[in-house]
């Protein structure tokens, strides 16, 4: 296993009773595409910030790529291995020029200088921000910033990439692009961990970790999680549109054979239903 | 409070000398009590437009009238503008700065004329409206909140002043589904009570289900405007398919490819469910 966590508990409120994470067990395999779902404050960001030691482990055990996250000597290796794109891109810029900002990250992680231009170029191209090399990050729109922040992480070529609501500020096509990039990176063998409030972005994941009030409520294949109405309700989430349609049609006496997860599956199920009746 | 926008243009100066034309010759009117959505790709000028409406930037050319008054005219009362127009910006996390959540939300009420207990009551109302337990959250640091929670505190700060025009830049990005619905329903109530609402969003469902009118921007230009449903239907007919469609519209397109034609007016979830029921339970056949 690439990531193994056992009994992780965490509180921001030292001495207090409020736990942001409580008894979390987690395993992620090399090359897996994992989505983390859960309502606001359920502990998603807190959990993933443990993976590259942005937050210090308080209770339990956590290993990432054989590295004990509590081992402070390995912290740079860990951070290089495990890249993270946050929900607030503004927090991530250090330079006033886009290309320098990306190069700064490379420098930090001791990437050979000769590789800088090519890496910066290809990372910006991947997020379709070529041409913006000389711009100031703070002169970009919200979505453009988010793409540049993503490029900064991709340039480091980490093995594990964590997207913490990296699509939140993007328009629908931009969102689709980033989801495509995630899957492209996944195909090249990277391990992807994606946090999102857009439930339809999780249907193609290998596994969903469903969080609620600091605990892992369920963990499994998207089909098992997203089509379970009771579970979704317990997690205070709303299932994807095809799932809602399936159940709402059932109420009206239209029984489709299988509960679809994607629009394509839904359309297929409708066509099957029509050819049968 | 009505808003008139006339031939509005805005250019950002660049250090390199070149200029970014963020808005080009935009004209439109927003009636008092309307609920208007603004849609468009990343970088099309939505935030810029909102900053102009809030009086934070002066137009390069063109005019903005609020209730008939040019807000950039000499002598226009800026304080009144601040009380009339409440704005929540795209990264509200940076609007949070006080030491406690309560103080943060109360900050905007400084010039409201409310005093003591009235302020507390109003802050409580705003935070409870945004789904918080007031007693639990009032003394917390706004920095000690999750992403979605910060956003909800920022929204509370804006609604607390009960301005006549409420402008939101991507308010629901980062909110979980229940908070999203809760926010949209609340805004609808404010709207029904007379508040003019302007909401920028990349969430097509939210725009389709809740707004009355839509403005569509593309590369700084206003390319479509009108009643929400009509605009969504028009955008769907565009050959380039460049613009957001609702999930329901996407399913309609896929069904049409499989010879199941649903009415073109299907835009929302409710529309789609009704059309499918009609089609599949016999109503649409024979
Ligand atoms: N820096 C902090 N200090 C204190 N408490 C915090 C801090 N960050 C988060 N919390 C609290 O910890 C809990 C979990 O927060 P976390 O950020 O992990 O949630 P999340 O699932 O990422 O939510 P969101 O969807 O809103 O981003 C919440 O109750 C939150 O208020
Ligand atoms: N401070 C600035 N200086 C220079 N150019 C800017 C500045 N702010 C924005 N721009 C540019 O102006 C254009 C419009 O930006 P704006 O922020 O209004 O877009 P937006 O529609 O809000 O996008 P998003 O959906 O990504 O938030 C973009 O091309 C952007 O790069
Ligand atoms: Mg978070
Ligand atoms: Mg914007």
Report the C-alpha gap between B53 and B62 in whole angstroms: 12
Range of the domain at B285: 245-286
Q: Predicted confidence band at B14 (pLDDT cuts at 50, 70, 90)? A: low
CATH of the domain at B101: 3.40.50.300
Residues B167, B155 within the same domain:
yes
| A237 and chain B in contact, CB less than 8 A | yes
Q: Predicted confidence band at A159 (pLDDT cuts at 50, 70, 90)? A: very high
Among the ranges A118-122, A211-215, B150-154, B174-178, which has the highest mean pLDDT value?
A: A211-215
The larger pLDDT score, comparing residue B247 to residue B92, is at B247
Report the C-alpha gap between A244 and B205 in whole angstroms: 14
Q: B91: distance to nearest CA of chain A, Å?
A: 8
A219 pLDDT exceeds 60? yes
Residues B110, B47 within the same domain:
yes
Report the C-alpha gap between B250 and B228 in whole angstroms: 17
The ipTM estimated for the assembled molecules is: 0.88
Which chain A residues are closer than 8 Å to B168 by Cβ? none
Residues B207, B279 within the same domain:
no
Residues B249, B138 within the same domain:
no
| A175 and chain B in contact, CB less than 8 A | yes
State the pLDDT at residue B286: 39
Q: Among the residues of A190-262, which ranges form H helices? A: 222-226, 229-234, 241-251
Contact criterion met (CB < 8 Å) for A200 and B247: yes
State the pLDDT at residue B83: 83
Lowest mean pLDDT among A57-61, A75-79, A238-242, B208-212: A75-79
Q: Predicted confidence band at B85 (pLDDT cuts at 50, 70, 90)? A: very high
Residues B189, B50 within the same domain:
yes
Q: How many Cβ atoms sit within 10 Å of the Cβ of residue B257?
A: 8
Residues B160, B284 within the same domain:
no
* Contacts of A188 by beta carbon, 8 Å cutoff, 6+ apart: none
Lowest mean pLDDT among A104-108, B236-240, B267-271: B236-240
Q: How do residues B17-67 score in pLDDT, each as one tens digit?
A: 567 789 999 999 999 999 999 999 988 999 999 999 999 899 999 999 999
> Given A142, A244, A254, which is nearest B281 (Cβ)?
A254
A13 pLDDT exceeds 80? no
Chain B interface test: which of A20, A142, A146 (most B C-beta within 10 Å) = A142
CATH superfamily of A3-239: P-loop containing nucleotide triphosphate hydrolases (3.40.50.300)
| A202 and chain B in contact, CB less than 8 A | no
In chain B, the N- to C-terminal Cα span, in Å, equals: 51
Q: How do residues B153-200 score in pLDDT, each as one tens digit?
A: 999 999 999 999 999 999 998 899 999 999 999 999 999 999 999 999
Strand A191-195 vs strand A207-212: parallel, antiparallel, or unpaired?
unpaired
Chain B interface test: which of A248, A267, A271, A273 (most B C-beta within 10 Å) = A267
Q: B27: distance to nearest CA of chain A, Å?
A: 22
The larger pLDDT score, comparing residue B82 to residue A187, is at A187
Contact criterion met (CB < 8 Å) for A40 and B152: yes
* Contacts of A100 by beta carbon, 8 Å cutoff, 6+ apart: none
Which chain B residues are closer than 8 Å to A248 by Cβ? 273
Task: Give A 20-39 residues with CB within 8 A of chain B.
Answer: 38-39
- Exposed / middle / buried, residue A113 (Cβ in 10 Å: 0-12, 13-18, 19+): exposed
DSSP per-residue string spanning A85-133: E-S-GGGG--SSSHHHHHHHHHHHTT--GGGHHHHHHHHHHHTT-TT-T
Lowest mean pLDDT among A67-81, A182-196, A215-229, B93-107: B93-107
Structural domains counted in chain B:
2
B233 pLDDT exceeds 80? yes
Q: Where in chain A is the domain with CATH 3.40.50.300?
A: 3-239
A187 pLDDT exceeds 80? yes
State the pLDDT at residue A14: 66
């Amino acid at each position: 296993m690439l990531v193994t966590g056992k009994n992780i508990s965490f509180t921001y409120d030292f001495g207090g009773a409020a736990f942001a994470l409580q008894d979390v067990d987690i395993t992620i395999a090399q090359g897996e595409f994992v989505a983390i779902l859960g309502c606001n404050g359920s502990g998603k960001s807190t959990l993933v910030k443990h993976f590259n030691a942005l937050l210090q482990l308080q209770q339990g055990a956590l290993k990432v790529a054989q590295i004990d996250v509590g081992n402070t000597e390995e912290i740079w290796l860990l951070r290089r291995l495990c890249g993270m794109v946050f929900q607030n891109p503004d927090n991530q810029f250090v330079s006033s020029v886009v290309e320098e900002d990306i190069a700064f990250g490379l420098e930090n992680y001791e990437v050979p200088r000769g590789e800088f231009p090519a890496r910066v170029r290809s990372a910006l191209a991947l997020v379709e921000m070529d041409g913006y090399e000389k711009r100031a990050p703070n002169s970009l729109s919200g979505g453009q910033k988010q793409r540049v922040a993503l490029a900064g992480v991709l340039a480091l070529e980490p093995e594990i990439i964590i997207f913490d609501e990296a699509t939140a500020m993007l328009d629908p096509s931009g969102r689709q692009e980033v989801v495509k990039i995630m899957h492209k990176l996944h195909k090249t063998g990277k391990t992807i961990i994606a946090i999102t409030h857009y439930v339809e972005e999780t249907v193609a994941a290998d596994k969903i970790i469903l969080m609620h009030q600091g605990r892992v409520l369920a963990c499994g294949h998207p089909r098992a999680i997203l089509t379970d109405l009771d579970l979704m309700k317990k997690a205070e989430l709303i299932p994807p549109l095809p799932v809602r349609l399936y159940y709402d049609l059932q109420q009206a006496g239209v029984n489709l054979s299988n509960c679809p997860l994607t629009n394509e599956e839904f359309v297929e199920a409708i066509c099957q239903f029509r050819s049968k009746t | 409070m009505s808003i008139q926008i006339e031939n509005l243009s805005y250019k950002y100066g660049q250090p390199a000398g070149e200029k970014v034309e963020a808005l080009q010759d935009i004209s439109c009117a927003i009636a008092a009590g309307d609920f208007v959505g603004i849609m468009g790709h990343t970088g099309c000028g939505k935030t810029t437009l909102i900053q102009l409406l809030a009086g934070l930037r002066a137009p390069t050319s063109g005019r903005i009238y609020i209730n008939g008054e040019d807000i950039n005219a000499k002598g226009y009362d800026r304080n009144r503008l601040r009380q009339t127009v409440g704005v929540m910006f795209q990264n509200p996390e940076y609007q949070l700065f006080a030491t406690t959540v309560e103080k943060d939300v109360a900050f905007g009420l400084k010039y409201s004329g409310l005093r003591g207990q009235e302020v507390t009551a109003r802050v409580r109302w705003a935070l409870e409206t945004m789904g918080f337990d007031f007693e639990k959250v009032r003394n917390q640091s706004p920095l000690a909140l999750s992403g979605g929670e910060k956003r909800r505190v920022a929204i509370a700060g804006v609604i607390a002043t009960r301005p006549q025009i409420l402008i939101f830049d991507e308010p629901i990005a980062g909110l979980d589904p229940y908070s999203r619905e809760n926010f949209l329903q609340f805004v609808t109530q404010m709207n029904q009570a007379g508040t003019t609402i302007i909401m920028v969003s990349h969430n097509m469902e939210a725009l389709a289900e809740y707004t009355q009118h839509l403005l569509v921007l593309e590369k700084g230009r206003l390319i479509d405007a009108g009643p929400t449903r009509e605009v969504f239907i028009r955008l769907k007919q565009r050959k380039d398919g460049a613009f957001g469609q609702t999930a329901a519209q996407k399913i309609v397109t896929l069904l049409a490819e499989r010879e199941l034609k649903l009415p073109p007016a299907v835009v929302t979830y409710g529309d789609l469910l009704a059309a499918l029921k009609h089609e599949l339970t016999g109503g649409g056949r024979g």
